[in-house]
Structure 1
Amino acid sequence: MPLNPDMNARLGSSYLGYSYSGNTRDLDYQLKLKANTYEALLDWYPSKDSSFRLTTGLAYNGNKIDVMAQPNAAGVYNINGTAYSSASVGQVNGKVSFNKVAPYLGIGWGRSSEKEKGWSFSTDIGLLFQGSAKTSLSNTGCAATATVCAQFANDLARENEQLRHEVSRFKAYPVLRVGLSYRF
């Protein structure tokens, strides 16, 4: 929506689902990324005759990663130097989440005009600053002795710190957006 000759406001949403494998020093993981955002953006055009723009805004950030630890081929989790049978300590699952409100900065090309009707094309590239990751790992179904289950829980807490360190590089989430619009 044009606000004045050199400024537009936009609302948008995006979704991406992606599964992949990853690991820390001790465990292998199956990871499911769910990137889901809703943005309120403000575009500024430095030149009236150009479609180049600078963009800033805020996003509701629903990005998260579902985590499922994978035992090795022998059915064992090796955590903190100790081997645990997955059959006795159960399944290890977790989540990685980020700040729910995140600022956005980017550049793009494309211009909305109040007078021009028809199709238009736009592109954006930028960064969503989603902050430090919050991680949680837990296990379900521990059938071992209480002592082994307690030791496994302690080692899993240390593994959670390693996982947090591994995902700490995701503070800024890259955004590439391509748009097609029609103005009546």
Structure 2
Amino acid sequence: MRSYLLAAAAAALLPVAALFPVAAQAQIAPDFAGVRVSTLGVGAEFGLKLNDHFTVRAIGNGANFGYHDTTDDGIRYDGDLKLASYGAQVDYRFAANGPLYVTAGAYKNDNKVQATGRYTGNVIVGGIPLTPAQVGVLTARAKFDDTVPYLGLGARWPVGHLEFNLEAGAYFQGRPRVTLTSDSIYANDPNVQTAIENERASLENDIKDFKTYPALTLGLRYKF
């Protein structure tokens, strides 16, 4: 699925590449400043107009969400999904006064998941039965690539000095990397280490689909 999306986005961006020499010679002027709500969080953006077709945007997003999940083994994980991203996008507008545009960009990605695993009584961790004393409190952390590409398609509708913006795209943040640690005094026991590693691999597999994160954005801008 990801390869098809990348191929389609690359084809859509061909007109952008062809017109970059024109954009490079353009007179840069402020275009808009706005706020946005998206699956990447709440944020703000500032746009610079290069010409009738090209706009460059600086964008920041962020949000925190509570995370609760109970595994098949009976371990309850409570934590936070922390979204934070900062970057820039280049928009190519198909028609000078038309609403549709294609966009590409790159972001500093600080999206992460932090959670604590708790349970009552004996528990099976990574397929291995353990006592509460052997397991201790589990701390899970998941991170993604630090710098990630973004591709999208959007539309913008001006209303006087205001402008509404709707955009859908894909944020390619890479395969998650999960760490799982225990505060148990038995954490160095080989059986406990094997159980925790099996559990870590299972958690990593559970969130692997987040490597391609869908981005849907609704924005409100003030036009200069």
Asked whether the 8 Å contact 1:94–1:135 carries over to 2, the reply is yes
1:22 touches 1:31 (CA, 8 Å); kept in 2? Answer: no
- Partners of 2:180 and 2:132 lie apart in 1 by 15
Unaligned runs of 5+ in 1: none
Secondary structure of 1:169's partner? helix
- Select between 55-64 and 102-111 the one with higher mean Cα deviation: 102-111
| Structure-2 residue corresponding to 1:36 | 84
What amino acid does structure 2 have at the position aligned with 1:108? Answer: G
Q: TM-score, normalised by structure 1?
A: 0.85
Which residue does 2:165 correspond to in 1? 122
| Count of residues in correspondence between the two structures | 176
Does the C-alpha gap of structure 1 residues 156 and 145 become closer, same or farther in structure 2, counting only changes over 3 Å? closer
Matches within 5 A, 1:11-160: 11-26=58-73, 27-71=75-119, 74-110=120-156, 118-140=161-183, 142-144=184-186, 149-160=189-200
2:215 matched to 1:169?
A: no
**Secondary structure at 2:123's aligned position in 1?**
strand
Which structure 2 residue ranges, 5 or more long, are not aligned?
1-47
Instruction: Tell me, yes or no, if the aligned pair for 2:134 and 2:192 is still in contact at 8 Å.
Output: no
| Poorly superposed stretches of 4+, deviation over 4 Å | none
How big is the shift at 1:111? 6.4
SS in structure 2 at match of 1:155: helix
**Cα pair distance change 1:53/1:77, threshold 3 Å:** same
Q: Equivalent residue for 2:20?
A: none
Post-superposition shift, 1:77? Answer: 2.9
> Aligned partners of 2:116, 2:182: CA distance in 1, in Å?
10
One-letter identity of the residue aligned with 1:137: L
Structure 2 residue identity aligned to 1:5: D
**One-letter amino acid of the structure 2 residue matched with residue 95 of structure 1:** R
Query: Higher mean Cα deviation, 3-12 or 42-51?
Result: 42-51
Over the aligned positions, Cα root-mean-square deviation in angstroms equals: 2.3
Q: Give CA-to-partner distance per residue, 1:14-68, whole Å, 9 cap, x none.
A: 1121112235543442241111111200001112231111110001111100122
Query: Counterparts of 1:145 and 1:156 in 2: how far apart (Å)?
Result: 9
Q: What secondary structure is seen at the aligned counterpart in 1 of 2:174?
A: coil
**Structure 2 counterpart SS, 1:174:** strand
Give the CA deviation at 1:182: 1.7
Is the 2:109–2:147 Cα contact (8 Å) retained in structure 1? Answer: yes
* Percentage of identical aligned residues: 26
